[in-house]
Structure 1
Amino acid sequence: MRTSGILMPITSLPSPWGVGTLGGEARAFVDFLARAGVSIWQVLPIVPTGYGDSPYQSFSTYAGNPYLIDLDDLAAEGLLERGEYAGVDWGSDPERVDYGALYRGRFDVLRRTVERLQKTRPDELARFCEREATWLDDYALFMALKDLHHGTPWHTWPDGVRLCRADALSRAHEKLAEDVAFWQGVQCLFFSQWERLHDYARAAGVRIMGDLPFYVALDSADVWSHPEQFQLDADLRPREIAGVPPDGFSDIGQIWGNPLFAWDRMKADGYEWWCQRVAFQLRLYDVLRIDHFRGFDSYFAIPAGAVTAAGGRWRNGPGIDLFRVLEQRLGRCDIVAEDLGYLTDSVRRLLEESGFPGMKVLEFAFDTRDGTGAAYLPFSYPANCIAYVGTHDNDTALGWLETAPEGDVALAREYLHLDPAEGEGWGMMRAIWASPADTAVVQMQDLLGLGSDARVNTPSTLGGNWVWRARPGFASRELADRVRRQMELYHRLPPIKVVPDDYARRDAAPVGGAGIMRTGQFRFRI
């Protein structure tokens, strides 16, 4: 079935409180997607942001981002008073996330909320903590210890807690009990709102595609609590770190700094760490995009302390063995493989063996430097792939037309018959909608006709990334209707479905433009 999606980070939604959240604007965006005939909402990782404000350098592969908790919804539940957050400085630019302002203002507000949650809904909180204990206990203690040590990385902490010695952890639990309970409460609030939004999307016929970073951050609860899963020395420091060699994104390669996986040890215990990680993600999302898929075939190891990636070397990953174990444990998983970058025949074989759809990026198709762009021309796309104009790591369509080499842009304009009357960005989107790809995903910025100022991320750079936000009213009915017509033309409308009341929305928010009506005990999308 031919489908379509829109890539829109949750943080990029408008709100008066500094950042996009899981509340009313997210539900309104679901309504927009349903009206537009778009069946997939692709999001970036919803984990806490870490170094460089990046969702790919998180303190946890499991936890939810506290900044995404909607304050208005908390007020509607009686867990907050509007005056407790309306006067806080959330940043001065409604089109940019100010992470410093969020850090200064959000946690005091959440502490008041958690105190009320503990008093008014203790049973709900207890059930959540019991259900998520396998990761939540470690994460909450990790964050409490991080606060105690003024945010410093765990590998600089005193040996007792750094090495997770039982007696030291027991004392820390006792000393920091209140802070541990706070971080547990924050996660309860987050996942309550996430489940509500996910149910809302299901009821509208919209599937959420999540994003799983391949690596985890060194300064994370995951590495701190399970160092045996990573390539660390006797002092729990990485000998080599993750990155990639020079490619289309960077002439000197990229140093990511993540610890490398101890694949031999992981294989010995049946890849239990990965099975738990993927199973958890598939509880959250309907489709899971796994970043840096080629790392399962071979991964690039860079000596710790290196200034560039030039001294790195390729090593073998687990290959198809891991995915066979995942399928045995979890069944057939709805996974998308991010197979961009430096590819080899063995990576292509792994993708074919896995059966997962890979990714095609139209902006790569017109690279005239080495002749490799032809693989990304739309006529050559297999049906089993996800087609993009550009991803969150690429410029917007109009930004690319302004900044790419002249020859590349000239070729794109000729090949795609781009017409300013239609809008050159729309011409690029039309190319992937018309392609053979089963799924075509466009960035929201391209639908809005935005340039490089709205780019989400520029790899290998620090500062100015992950901050773009849309203006209020961006998801208009007129835009939805224009998109819907394109979905009709290119046969990407979802089928009309009967949705049982099991998927009824849990909140009383108005449906808006999604086109949902109630008839008896079913809901029909019209």
Structure 2
Amino acid sequence: MSSTQAQVSFFSQRRAGVLLHPTSLPCSESRYLEGTTAFGTLGKEAYRFIDFMAEAGLSVWQMLPTGPTHQDLSPYQSISAHAGNPDLISFDWLIEQGWIPAESVHLFSPDRTNLAIARQQAGASFFAFIQTEYGASVAQTYHAFCAAQAYWLDDVSLFCALRNHFQQQSWTTWPEGLRQHDQQALSAARQELAPEVAQVCFEQFAFFQQWQSLRNYAQKKSIYLFGDIPIFVAHDSADVWAEQGSFLLDEAGQPMSVAGVPPDYFSETGQHWGNPHYDWDVMRADNFRWWLARLKTQLELFDLIRIDHFRGFEAYWSIPGDTQDARQGEWIKAPGEALLNACFAAYPDLPLVAENLGVITDEVEALRKQFALPGMLVLQFAFDGNPANPHLPHNHSLADVIYSGTHDNDTSLGWYASLNDFSRQQLRSYCFHSSDAMPWLLINLALSSVGRMAIIPMQDFMELDGRHRMNMPGTTDKNWVWTFDWDQVDPGLATRIRQQLATYHRLVNQV
């Protein structure tokens, strides 16, 4: 299979981007917050970040999955594979659009409970507004959105309303009719919880409207949004609840087999993710309908999409559902070729990148290359003393996406600090004993690669140490909460980045 047209446009010239999740942006809703740091939103700081990127000559903004999260905040364990994270909604944007009055939002502490209360206040004002003459056109747009997205919004809105009704308890504990997704029980619940269902619909409408506004702004600056699809979905999600027959579950709805990985670079005992595995036979029988619907939603959000844990399309690590020990798993073949054939038949220009890190076999790479999917190479993995290491720059290829590190790695400065003297010397020797200080030594190594796309985490551009990493795989403490402030950004950083991109021929024509 040949490369898609979309991929050709991205990889036909050298370019560079930045990795930063929107939650890591400074919070722009300061006038509603008193004394507590909050996560970033799709508000004015997101637009400021795009301006920064344009000034720096960066043309790709890569981020993590943008779905609603559980209390652990992991974007890889989302409540929905389709929905947007309501925590990213900007109240300022809603006020500027005239959808809600400023006095309708009273938020004194931006924890998730108070954010939810503030969104309820905003929702009440929004529904009052669209009942007025002035809100008629917005009402029409809102109802059109709900109709167009009904293929996922109907289930997500009811699922979230039910989770709130049952105090966030897993759907497997709900009354039998609701647990089994019985249509009669669902209809009764939808009527009983109509205001709560409408609130979720409002939040999704607000998210998608704000997202499209931001995406349009990015496109005017010749900046593309690079998304991330987790290969698996959370057990406690609208997807598993609504599509139980497509997952390996027992009669009580509990997973018979869960996802993870065997021991690897990140963990000596492997990782137990807990996501239920797909029933691939069922999915193949309906031509992967669920996957095609998932891609449809993501293509409305992103210009380029990374498939996280791509190797799971060739074979997946199956851990028995009754154990927490990831080492008890086994590799089981997956129908990756059939799935990707269906995806590209439905979306011929599908712009995918394969996350091919970890335990990667010849079969996995053959599947990736069969569909001409760019892969990932990470410089922090390169210096193990093996000259054949694929992450070393002399082994890179044009279609590779080159990273100094990823959201799962330490910052490059933190990584370098953890190296022994021999490893540091090996890195310096490889770089011709360059006098560049870290992390710019690694940044410049990524930018100089033959790989046509290079992505640098924002923490590396800001020269931050390991205290600022986004995630530490295998742990659940203090992950996904890092944010930056513009005061931490050197005033000359954009100019420095642009100069380096010019040196390595990675500037793309921008307005």
Give the deviation of 1:373 after TM superposition.
7.0
Correspondence 1:154 to 2:174 = no
SS at match of 1:210: strand
SS at match of 1:200: helix
Residues 172-251 of structure 1: matches in 2 within 5 Å? 172-251=189-268
Correspondence 1:445 to 2:459 = yes
Equivalent of residue 119 in structure 2, options 110, 121, 135: 110
Equivalent residues of 1:366, 1:373 under 8 A apart:
no
User: What residue number does 1:343 align with?
Assistant: 360
Range 118-127 or range 282-291, more displaced: 118-127
Residues 468-507 of structure 1: matches in 2 within 5 Å? 468-474=482-488, 478-496=492-510
User: What residue number does 1:399 align with?
Assistant: 414
Correspondence 1:61 to 2:84 = no
1:418 and 1:141 mapped to 2: Cα distance?
60
User: What residue number does 2:39 align with?
Assistant: 19
User: What residue number does 2:330 align with?
Assistant: 313
Equivalent residues of 1:418, 1:428 under 8 A apart:
no
Deviations, residues 23-79 of structure 1 (Å, cap 9, x unaligned)? 111001111111111110001111111252101001001111111011211222234
Give the deviation of 1:389 after TM superposition.
0.6
Give the deviation of 1:323 after TM superposition.
1.1
Equivalent residues of 1:229, 1:262 under 8 A apart:
yes
1:495 and 1:391 mapped to 2: Cα distance?
26
Deviations, residues 458-511 of structure 1 (Å, cap 9, x unaligned)? 100011100110113455652111100011000000135xxxxxxxxxxxxxxx
SS at match of 2:54: helix
Structure 1 runs not aligned, ≥5 long: 91-100, 497-524
2:494 and 2:102 mapped to 1: Cα distance?
32
Equivalent residues of 2:101, 2:125 under 8 A apart:
no
Residue correspondences, number? 483
Give the deviation of 1:305 after TM superposition.
2.5
1:485 and 1:353 mapped to 2: Cα distance?
37
C-alpha distance 210-336 of structure 1, shift in aligned 2 (>3 A): same
Range 113-122 or range 169-178, more displaced: 113-122
Equivalent residues of 1:393, 1:459 under 8 A apart:
yes
Equivalent residues of 2:16, 2:506 under 8 A apart:
yes
Give the deviation of 1:365 after TM superposition.
0.5
User: What residue number does 1:415 align with?
Assistant: 430
User: What residue number does 1:72 align with?
Assistant: 92
1:305 and 1:410 mapped to 2: Cα distance?
46
Give the deviation of 1:210 after TM superposition.
0.5
Equivalent residues of 2:23, 2:88 under 8 A apart:
yes
Equivalent residues of 2:226, 2:303 under 8 A apart:
yes
User: What residue number does 1:94 align with?
Assistant: none
C-alpha distance 363-383 of structure 1, shift in aligned 2 (>3 A): same
Equivalent residues of 1:60, 1:220 under 8 A apart:
yes
User: What residue number does 1:327 align with?
Assistant: 344
Q: Structure 2 counterpart of 1:243, which letter? A: G
2:433 and 2:154 mapped to 1: Cα distance?
54
Give the deviation of 1:283 after TM superposition.
1.5
Deviations, residues 249-296 of structure 1 (Å, cap 9, x unaligned)? 100000000000111111111111111111221121000011000000
Equivalent residues of 2:173, 2:179 under 8 A apart:
yes
User: What residue number does 2:60 align with?
Assistant: 40
2:323 and 2:371 mapped to 1: Cα distance?
34
Correspondence 1:5 to 2:32 = no
Q: Structure 2 counterpart of 1:396, which letter? A: T
Compute the TM-score of the two structures, normalised by the length of structure 2.
0.92
SS at match of 1:52: coil
Deviations, residues 146-197 of structure 1 (Å, cap 9, x unaligned)? 0110001101111110001122111111110111011111101111100000
Equivalent residues of 1:232, 1:239 under 8 A apart:
yes
Identity across matched positions, percent? 39
C-alpha distance 87-132 of structure 1, shift in aligned 2 (>3 A): closer
Equivalent of residue 287 in structure 2, options 246, 251, 270: 270
Q: Structure 1 counterpart of 2:144, which letter? A: R
Deviations, residues 185-240 of structure 1 (Å, cap 9, x unaligned)? 11011111000000000000000000111100000000000111111122221111
Give the deviation of 1:407 after TM superposition.
3.3
User: What residue number does 1:464 align with?
Assistant: 478
C-alpha distance 145-476 of structure 1, shift in aligned 2 (>3 A): same
Give the deviation of 1:405 after TM superposition.
4.4
C-alpha distance 84-322 of structure 1, shift in aligned 2 (>3 A): same
User: What residue number does 1:97 align with?
Assistant: none
Deviations, residues 398-417 of structure 1 (Å, cap 9, x unaligned)? 00011234433332233225
Aligned Cα RMSD in Å? 1.6
User: What residue number does 1:359 align with?
Assistant: 376
Equivalent of residue 275 in structure 2, options 252, 258, 278: 258
Equivalent of residue 454 in structure 1, options 464, 468, 476: 468
Compute the TM-score of the two structures, normalised by the length of structure 1.
0.89
C-alpha distance 138-450 of structure 1, shift in aligned 2 (>3 A): same
C-alpha distance 418-306 of structure 1, shift in aligned 2 (>3 A): farther
Equivalent residues of 2:106, 2:118 under 8 A apart:
no
Range 396-405 or range 381-390, more displaced: 396-405
Equivalent residues of 2:104, 2:125 under 8 A apart:
no
Range 112-121 or range 81-90, more displaced: 81-90
Correspondence 1:29 to 2:16 = no
Q: Structure 2 counterpart of 1:450, which letter? A: L
2:261 and 2:387 mapped to 1: Cα distance?
19
Equivalent residues of 2:107, 2:118 under 8 A apart:
no
2:431 and 2:494 mapped to 1: Cα distance?
24
Deviations, residues 364-416 of structure 1 (Å, cap 9, x unaligned)? 00135xx4872211111011110001000001110001123443333223322
SS at match of 2:492: helix
Range 325-334 or range 72-81, more displaced: 72-81
Equivalent residues of 2:501, 2:507 under 8 A apart:
yes
Give the deviation of 1:81 after TM superposition.
4.5
1:39 and 1:335 mapped to 2: Cα distance?
17
User: What residue number does 1:511 align with?
Assistant: none
